[in-house]
Structure formats: C-alpha cells, structure tokens
Structure 1
Amino acid sequence: MSYRRAMPNPRPDQWIRVQPEGLFVVPGGFHVDPMRPVPRALVTHGHSDHARPNNAAVLATAETLAIMRARYGDAAGGTLQPAALGESMRIGEVDVSFVPAGHVLGSAQIVLEHAGSRVVLSGDYKRRPDPTCRPFQPVLCDVFVTEATFGLPVFRHPPDSGEIARLLHSIALFPERAHVVGVYSLGKCQRVICLLRQAGWDRPIYLHGALQALCDLYESLGVPLGPLLPATGASKAELAGQVVLAPPSAIADRWSRRLPDPVVAAASGWMRVRQRARQGGVELPLVISDHADWDELLATIDEVEAGEVWVTHGREEALIHQLRSTGRAARALALIGFEEDDGA
C-alpha cells in the first residue's frame, strides 16, 4: 500500500519556510541546519556547512554534539540537547524524531509530523554500508527533503571495496613510494581507515596532524580504527610503502615534500570526473563517496514513497526533471550556504 495521500491543509510548504537563516519550521519555532545563528537549531550532522556555531540552543544526536564541541568549543551552542535516535518529542506543535542518515558518525534525518503530514529532512545521506556510522533508515513520508550532491546520471559510484583494492594494488606495485590519500577530516578519513582494515591492512596508517583529533574522537565514541601514527616526524624510509592520510589542501602544500616519491590519491565522489582529478594533481583517483549517487537518490525517493520532493542543494535541475517526468511533484528550495567540497 502506498503512503502517498492527498495533502491536508495547511500543506507542508505553508509551515516550512525558507528564510535567510535557512529552513524554518514555523509551528515548532526552530530552524534545521541554519546558516546563521538562531534561537533554536536542529542539526542533522557535524559537517561545518550544516553544523554552524553560536546558536542559542542546539538539538542533535549525542555524536553530532560531541563533534561540534570538538570543533567549536564553547561556541558549539548555548544549550546542547542530545536527541536519541527513534524517540519522538514534541516541539511547539510539531512531533520531531531523528533517524539514521548513514552519512557520517551521528548523522540523522529529521522527521517532522504536523497537521496530518509527515516531512523527512534527510540532511546529507548515503546508502552504502559504512562501519563508522549507522545505516540510512528509510521513513515513509508525504514530503522528502533531499540533497542532490551527485544528482546527475554520470555519478554512479563503484563498490568501495574495489576502490580500496586499487589502492592496495598500487602499493604492491610501488613499495618504495608512499601513498598519500586526500580525505576530508570528518567521516571520509575514518571511513577510509575502516575500509582498509576490512581489506586486511593491519599496519599503522599515518596521519597528517589535522586529522588526529577527530580520529581520537571517533575512537572515544566506539569506532575502532587500529594503529595510527603521526606522519610528521616520520622518516622517508619509514613512510615507504605506507598509507598516509592528509587533507586535500595539505597534499598541494610543501608538507607533502617530506614523503618518499608520493603517489597522490584522493577519496571522493568527485573523482568520477577525470578533469577534477587532473586539476588536483591526483594520480590515483578513488571514487569513495559519503553521498548517494544518482541511482541511489532515485531508489531512496521511491522507497520512502514521497509524493512530493524538495531538493535543498546540489544538482537540483537534473533530479527535479527526472522526478517530474515520472509524475512526482518536485521543486528546488534554493538554499544558500551548503558547500561543494572535496569531502564528498
């Protein structure tokens, strides 16, 4: 039986509004992932374009709050309230619950129920298995608010295991060289580490100093990463044949000169675009993404049975065209402030 039903009054687009601060839920009196400080913020996950500092009150999962404290200190928010996954709470006139989004540790979709409608705000999400976070949980809804970072048919991500196998094969071919992989500090770094462990890499993995704090936080929150060592201070002989993880910006910096004839790799969904890899000087592009690809976006929208889809950011035009061609109502919210970064 389909979840789709006739929209009651008031419709969701009458009580969820786009403001300069971001998406505002009027009957609840709160914003979701606001771009500017607000009195009350509900936050889907810890990436800086969704979790910004200096809100008066923040409601998010305990892991997201821990990430915000680690990044912002006292500026994480005036009052920080943890939300337990799956538990419903009443905020103003809206029933609110958080369910897993599968994006990074602590990431959640936010489910809103008001005036006979259910709206799911996905935040960022992926559908691939990830040992560092809970898997995406589909929720039947009337309106699905989705990202579209990889909302073009060209973006079809290969299996993660195959990309890690390519990295390990390159290490076997060039044991005298270090393999430095550009990774975003939150989520991608820890996921690549765990994928390497799953593939049998039990040797130490070397880290740029900017990655250490969040790796420590992940381990403190119950995500084992195995032996990690600082890359800074290690000799070239010690780094030969090893995996070194670093922020993409550091690889283009003089920092990378300390590495022995490095093979430059990058782990991102954008590595599907060869021109981006070439522009970044990437010799070994690894298509490992923390976002849903084109097929997964469409499959997810089918799975939640939403009759109406709102697209927050990314490749809105192609996704909206595809959805409308299949009879779904779809529109762009035109939110400003969500970044397109190498962490995708």
Structure 2
Amino acid sequence: MTKAARRASWIRVRPEGLLVEPGGFYVDPTRAVERAVITHGHADHARPGHGTVAATAATLAIMRTRYGEMPFGSGQPLALGETITINGVKVWLAPAGHVLGSAQVVLEYKGERVVVSGDYKRRPDRTCTAFEPVPCDVFVTEATFGLPVFRHPPDEGEMAMLMHSRSLFPDRCHVIGTYSLGKAQRLISLIRAAGYDKPLYLHGALMPLCELYQAHGVDLGELLPATAGEKGKPRADLSGEIVLAPPSAIADRWARRLPDPVVAMASGWMRVKQRAKQGGVELPLVISDHADWDELLQTLDDVGAPEVWVTHGREEALVHAARKKGIEAKALRLLGYEEEG
C-alpha cells in the first residue's frame, strides 16, 4: 500500500456519512447518530435527532430555530479556533464563509490533519465570517459548482441589474426567490450595499432566520411581512416594492397575487439559462453561497493538501483538475447533500 493510500485511513465513508473512527463521531451525518460535528445549519448537513452535536453557537441556534428547541440531545458550542479532544482526535473549527456560523471541521490525529470544508464560498459577505484556508494533509471539499462553466459574476453587477429593472418598471413589484438560510440575508445585505434603504418585504418563511441573524448582530435594515397584518401590507399594495420569498413561493399563486410582479431568482444555478426559463424567472440573478470553479481551484492551491476528497456536487471534473495539479484525488460519492431548495 502506498503512502498516499494510507492518508487519513482513520476516516471512513459509511451510510450515515463521514465517520471519524477513533473519535466515534461523524461529520455532517445524513442520519441520526450518537455524536456529530456539524459544519453549518443547512438541512442537508444539519439533520435533527443526533445525540450530542458540536458546532458553532450560531449553528446550534439555527438548528433550534428550524427544528424546535430539542433538535438534538445536547449541544456543545465551539468558538472558531477552540480545540476539543474526542477520544484522542483533536477537533477545531475554522470559518467557511458560507452562512452565519458556518465552519470547516479540522481533525488532527497521529500527526495528520484533515480538513472537512462543508459548504464554503470565497466572496466577501458581511453576514458571516470569511473563509480561511487551513493547510492540511487531506482536504475534503464540496464541488457544488465544480464545472468550468460556473464562474460567478461580481455581486455588484447583479445588484446593478436589479436596480436597473426597478428603474425600468417602477410600478411593478420585484419578487426574488431566495433560500431562507444564508442566501436571503446575504441578498438583503447586497441590496442595502447597493443603496436601497427602504423597507424590504418578506414572505413569512424567511422572517425567523432573518430575526436570528439580527439577534447575532447582523444589520439587515427594516424588514416587514409581505402579507396584511399589524405591520405588513396587503399584497395588492406592494407596487414598486422588493419582496423576498422562498423559491417555491415564486412559482406559486402566492407570487401571482402580487401587483404585476417581476419574478427574479438569486442562485448560482441562474448561470444555467434553461433553469431560469423552466422556473419562469424573468430576472435571473447569479448570486451563490458556494465557491465557483476558479475559487475551488484556488482553494486547492491555498490549502496545499497532497490529497483531496470530493464529497458532493460535480465530483469528477474537480477530481480531474486536482490530478492535473499533481494532487491525489478521489470522489467520495456521499449521498444526501444538495444545495438547499
């Protein structure tokens, strides 16, 4: 057996996910387990029902917001950089730049360091801590946008498109489909950075996590419900306003009741024109919370790992590109991880 083949032999792929054998715990397991370390709060990585969960305090709070007060037996909050030892395995968290509380899991055992990235992005984002590359022996990376076609444009240009559309159609409501965790809050931050200081109107499904972000010190400006009520407006009165809603709602009669809506969608997948067309999206906004192709390759250079494991997404293309760089690489083919819809 070669030296490369022996790297991180103490980590195994199981039906439940990535098992750290000597530690007796999993990283982002897709099934309920006794002990888990969680990278971030998206539902495909943070499942309910685990016994003990170690994660950042923000990720634990997100899980409680989404699943109720008891989504796991007990929570172990970890600050970024704080080290714990689980059955001889050192564990610490480094920022991933994906969403509030997101972290890479750094594992150290018998002189080897393995970094499990979880989901990550390299773009600036005022709503979460920026990604930091951690040198390691094995880098376990996502590859959601792991194809050369995926090169995300500058966020400022996408916001300029939104503001230009508002100037062209000042009486129409602009409704933007956006995921509830991370994307919605980042989109709000980008809209504010573009100079828009009016209230933004939210579908009810987006409000709890926006309130959680605000409780963690992320300023999102004035947010109001997009339905009639104590503070909201009837949908018929939202002419000229910007409304944010889950992707499922913009294809639903909920959005059709808005006044002459311009239907937009904020997602890295809007680079694929056919996806926008199939979703009835009039204004596609290419805004992603994942690294694009160039950023994935840059990250491989930054961490300097001689071996890379690709966990989900477009695995084969990134494996091929890593090998061309002289890196040992393989696809883990873990199931159950997708961009949250």
- Name the TM-score, length of structure 2 as normaliser: 0.96
Match of 2:181 in 1: 186
Task: Indicate which of 194, 201, 205 corresponds to 1:210.
Answer: 205
Task: Indicate which of 142, 145, 149 corresponds to 1:150.
Answer: 145
8 Å contact from structure 2 (residues 139, 307) kept in 1? yes
Give the SS at the match of 1:86: coil
Show structure 1 runs of 5+ residues with no match: 1-5
Show structure 2 runs of 5+ residues with no match: none
Give the SS at the match of 2:284: strand
Give the SS at the match of 2:300: helix
Mapping of residues 293-312 of structure 1, within 5 Å = 293-312=292-311
Match of 2:338 in 1: 339
8 Å contact from structure 1 (residues 7, 117) kept in 2? no
Residue 187 and residue 31 in structure 1: after superposition, are their counterparts in 2 closer, same or farther (change >3 A)? same
Whole-Å Cα distance in 2 between the matches of residues 150 and 211 of structure 1? 25
Whole-Å Cα distance in 1 between the matches of residues 38 and 3 of structure 2? 27
8 Å contact from structure 1 (residues 28, 93) kept in 2? yes
- Aligned-pair identity in percent equals 68
What displacement does 1:7 show?
Answer: 5.1
The reply on whether 1:230 has 2:229 as its aligned counterpart is: no
The reply on whether 1:11 has 2:7 as its aligned counterpart is: yes
What displacement does 1:88 show?
Answer: 1.4
Match of 1:255 in 2: 254
Aligned residues: 336
Whole-Å Cα distance in 2 between the matches of residues 8 and 207 of structure 1? 50
Give the SS at the match of 1:244: strand
Give the SS at the match of 1:119: strand
Residue 106 and residue 260 in structure 1: after superposition, are their counterparts in 2 closer, same or farther (change >3 A)? same
2:272 counterpart letter in structure 1:
V
What displacement does 1:279 show?
Answer: 0.3
The reply on whether 1:43 has 2:42 as its aligned counterpart is: no
Mapping of residues 80-159 of structure 1, within 5 Å = 80-159=75-154
> How far does the alpha carbon of each residue in 1:124-145 deviate from its partner, in whole angstroms, 9 at most, with x for none?
0000000100000110011100
8 Å contact from structure 2 (residues 17, 30) kept in 1? yes
Residue 149 and residue 9 in structure 1: after superposition, are their counterparts in 2 closer, same or farther (change >3 A)? closer
1:300 counterpart letter in structure 2:
T
Residue 142 and residue 256 in structure 1: after superposition, are their counterparts in 2 closer, same or farther (change >3 A)? same
Whole-Å Cα distance in 2 between the matches of residues 236 and 78 of structure 1? 41
Whole-Å Cα distance in 2 between the matches of residues 251 and 8 of structure 1? 48
Whole-Å Cα distance in 2 between the matches of residues 25 and 236 of structure 1? 50
> How far does the alpha carbon of each residue in 1:220-266 deviate from its partner, in whole angstroms, 9 at most, with x for none?
11111101111112245631111100001011111112211100000
Whole-Å Cα distance in 2 between the matches of residues 188 and 10 of structure 1? 39
Match of 2:269 in 1: 270
Whole-Å Cα distance in 1 between the matches of residues 91 and 200 of structure 2? 40
Match of 2:324 in 1: 325
> How far does the alpha carbon of each residue in 1:188-218 deviate from its partner, in whole angstroms, 9 at most, with x for none?
0000001111111000000001111111111
Residue 238 and residue 137 in structure 1: after superposition, are their counterparts in 2 closer, same or farther (change >3 A)? same
Residue 21 and residue 134 in structure 1: after superposition, are their counterparts in 2 closer, same or farther (change >3 A)? same
Whole-Å Cα distance in 2 between the matches of residues 96 and 8 of structure 1? 23
RMSD: 1.4
Runs of 4+ in 1 over 4 A off after TM superposition: 6-10
> How far does the alpha carbon of each residue in 1:59-110 deviate from its partner, in whole angstroms, 9 at most, with x for none?
0000000000111114421010101101111111111100100000000000
